[in-house]
Structure 1
Amino acid sequence: MQTLNLVENTSVDFNAFRVFDTQDHQDNYRKLALSEQLQTSLELNVLLNIFALEAAKYVDFSGLYFKQAEISAAARGSKAGKKERRYELKINNHYVGTLTYALNAPISISNNKVIKQLHQVLLHPLNNAIKYQKAMQLALQDGLTGLGNRRYFDQQLKRAMHHANRQHSKVGMIVCDLNKFKTINDTYGHKIGDDILLHFADALRASVRDSDSLFRFGGDEFVVLVEDANENSLLVIEERIHQAINACCLLSKYQVSCSLGASLMNRADSEQSFFERTDQLLYQNKISENRTLNIV
């Protein structure tokens, strides 16, 4: 008969059944859950909202902001705190952007370590969202002047008119067309033609408010959208455009001028009727100006 000797050993540290209860595993699970949530969107604001919920477990903050060059975003409800703490986010030493916490209280050393680990989870979804936003901007941008293109105009006009109807305000539109641009382009070449378009785009930028929007349809036709507009604000912008053209050495050298058509939306307007009415005013003004020039 064989005897089985049982040896009690209480000094064994490793227990396979306790591996899944370790703090490291819980941390990894939270990071995995956060990573999965961050994969659900390519919108920067949405990513910051998701991340803010997790970060709030370790940091007392009232606002979370991200910025990279001209791209910026903020978590929902963000507002100023007592202090700010900035973190530069990098992937392989390549700068992705700066994440700023508006703090209500200092971050402890241990929580600062956790936050930096969470930043590593945020990095790649954030970088993907930035690339997506830049690609979308390029798709809505005129390649030469950097102004919005026709597709972007259609989107912005619809949004602006909807907003104006809700706020009981008005949208103004100014359509711009360079006079005798084809003749200048054919005479002096496409390089000079492009330079003229670039300088005219700059003249438009100098003539409007930050809240106004500029677009190039292609060729020498441009549009200004003016929100919260009235007749006087359109007249002011028209005058500024003419002054900016006269003040530009290049445009003056080639005797560049432009015709303008301006109108305010009415409640019966669709996007199409609003644009067509304004474009028709441009056409009428252009004919009238040409007749005046011929008489003189």
Structure 2
Amino acid sequence: MQTLNLVENTRVDFNAFKLFDTRDHKDNYRKLALAEQLQTTLELDHLLNIFAMEAAKFVDFSGLYFKQTNISSAARGSKAGKKERIFELKLNNRYLGTLTYAINSPISITNHKILTQLHKLLIHPINNAIKYQKALRIALEDSLTGLGNRRHFDQQLKRAMHHANRQKSRLGIVVGDLNKFKAINDSYGHNIGDDVLIEFANALRMSTRDSDSLFRFGGDEFAIIVEDASEKSLHIMERRIENAIQENALLHKYKVGCSLGYTFMNRADNEKSLFERADNMLYSRKMNMPRVLTVV
């Protein structure tokens, strides 16, 4: 793996022209055109698509991938090649991520030098895209539990309903809250209450599939969007949540329980009607505390 570290002099503004060889006007124009295109988007996928079109002139590759700890992206149509060539990208000695080419033939020394110069044009747009994605994630994330917030739920529910209609699949929505959570806060303080919420969020993660989307609305109110759902899968999820709560030492210590209500989308539903039906089921359960959920 090769490391490319772009170091800027903090006393002088970064000047992309310094990356270019002033003796080759045609090459300068090409690089300037690429730099301009890379400034048109903050979406990583789109950045890689733009960059891949230029890099393909010098490298025979079938896939281009970017990877950071919690962020990954790929150019459109990427697939495995005969070998991989990995470049580590840094900006002022700060790790940005890795750029991986799925190559089909070796990269010549001349083209390797060109590729290194092109990477210098890519580093700042990638850095901006990473910051943008992190800002989006913070805006859509509950800061205490790391689950999605209400704004994220509204976006995801709309998307999931459209997807279910297109695919003619079954969409389920689960809403829940903790029983007597206010008593825990009043008796033990908000720090313990926060710990309970964090552990309950972890119990939900353990009890759901990777394809399920988890949210906290605030307080002790939670929701789960379940795509490709069935009565069986939701009953299994309920049992798993109950078991996860019982097996969690902190939740068991404070005798935490939860109530759940759920329903399935029908053709007449909009986002509001679907959520309200699940919420009404939750309210009914809390009033009557039945042991078996009724699916509506």
- Using the size of structure 1 for normalisation, the TM-score is 0.90
Distance 1:232 1:271 in 2: 23
The answer for the alignment partner of 1:257 in structure 2 is 257
Match of 2:124 in 1: 124
The one-letter amino acid of 2:162's match is H
Structure 1: which 4+ aligned runs deviate by more than 3 Å? none
Preserved CA contact (<8 Å) 2:215 2:223 = yes
Residues 94-173 of structure 1: pairs in structure 2 closer than 5 A: 94-173=94-173
Which digits, 9 at most, give the CA deviation of each residue in 1:186-208, with x for residues without a partner? 11001000000000000000000
Does the 8 Å contact 1:67/1:98 carry over to 2? yes
**Contact 1:37/1:50 (8 A) holds in 2:** yes
Matching residue of 2:197: 197
Partner of 1:26: 26
Q: Cα distance 1:287–1:114, how it changes in 2: closer, same or farther (>3 A)?
A: same
Q: What letter matches 2:231 in structure 1?
A: E
Q: Contact 2:31/2:118 (CA < 8 Å) preserved in 1? A: yes
In the alignment, the residues of structure 2 paired with residue 199 and residue 116 of structure 1 have an alpha-carbon distance, to the nearest angstrom, of 46
Q: Is the 8 A contact 2:170 2:227 kept in 1?
A: yes
**Which residue does the alignment assign to 1:35?**
35
CA distance in 1, matches of 2:61, 2:264: 44
CA drift at 1:27: 1.9
**Corresponding residue for residue 55 of structure 2:** 55
Letter of the structure 1 residue corresponding to residue 159 of structure 2: R
How far has the Cα of 1:22 moved from its partner? 7.7
Q: What is the aligned length?
A: 271
**Residue of structure 2 in register with 1:7 after alignment:** none
Distance 2:118 2:225 in 1: 42
The share of aligned pairs that are identical, in percent, is: 70
Structure 1: which amino acid aligns with 2:279? D
CA distance in 2, matches of 1:69, 1:27: 34
Give how far 1:168 is off. Answer: 0.3
1:248 partnered with 2:254:
no
2:231 paired residue number: 231
Identify the residue that residue 218 of structure 1 maps to in structure 2. 218
Segments of structure 2 that go 5 or more residues without pairing to the other structure are 1-20, 292-296
Once the 2 structures are TM-superposed, how far is the Cα of residue 24 of structure 1 from its aligned partner?
Answer: 2.5
Q: What is the CA–CA distance in structure 1 between the aligned matches of 2:262 and 2:241, rounded to whole Å? A: 12
Task: Supply the AA of the counterpart residue of 2:59.
Answer: V
What is the CA–CA distance in structure 1 between the aligned matches of 2:269 and 2:230, rounded to whole Å?
A: 16
Return 5+ residue gaps in structure 1 as ranges.
1-20, 292-296
CA distance in 1, matches of 2:288, 2:106: 68
User: Does structure 2 retain, via aligned residues, the 8 Å contact 1:200–1:251?
Assistant: yes
- Residue 187, structure 1, aligned to residue 178, structure 2: no
Shift, 1:231, TM fit:
0.9
CA contact (8 A) 1:87 1:98 kept: yes
Opposite residue 175 of structure 1, the aligned amino acid is V
Instruction: Using the TM superposition, name which of 195-204 and 223-232 deviates more.
Output: 223-232
Name the aligned partner's letter for residue 45 of structure 1. D
**Against the structure 1 CA distance between its residues 206 and 22, is the aligned structure 2 distance closer, same or farther, given a 3 Å change threshold?**
closer
- The whole-number CA distance in structure 1 between the counterparts of 2:92 and 2:184 is 50
What is the letter of the counterpart of residue 54 of structure 2? E
Q: Decide whether the 8 Å contact of 2:22 with 2:28 is kept in 1.
A: no
Give the structure with higher Rg (CA): 1
Cα distance in 2 for partners of 1:250, 1:141 equals 24
Distance across 1 between alignment mates of 2:214 and 2:27: 49
Tell me what 2:80 maps to. 80
2:6 aligns with: none
Per-residue Cα deviation, 1:78-109 (whole angstroms, up to 9, x for no partner): 11111100000011111111000011111111
TM-score by length of 2: 0.90
Kindly provide the CA deviation profile for residues 220-263 of structure 1, in whole angstroms up to 9, marking residues without a partner as x.
00001110111111111111111100010000000000000011
For 2:52, what is the secondary structure of its paired residue?
helix
SS at match of 1:206: helix
The Cα RMSD (Å) is 1.4
Deviation at 1:65, TM superposition (A): 0.3
Report the equivalent of 1:278: 278
User: Aligned equivalents of 2:61 and 2:236: distance in 1?
Assistant: 44
Where does residue 207 of structure 2 map in the other structure?
Answer: 207
SS in 1 for 2:143: coil
- Determine the C-alpha separation between the residues in 2 that align with 1:156 and 1:245: 26
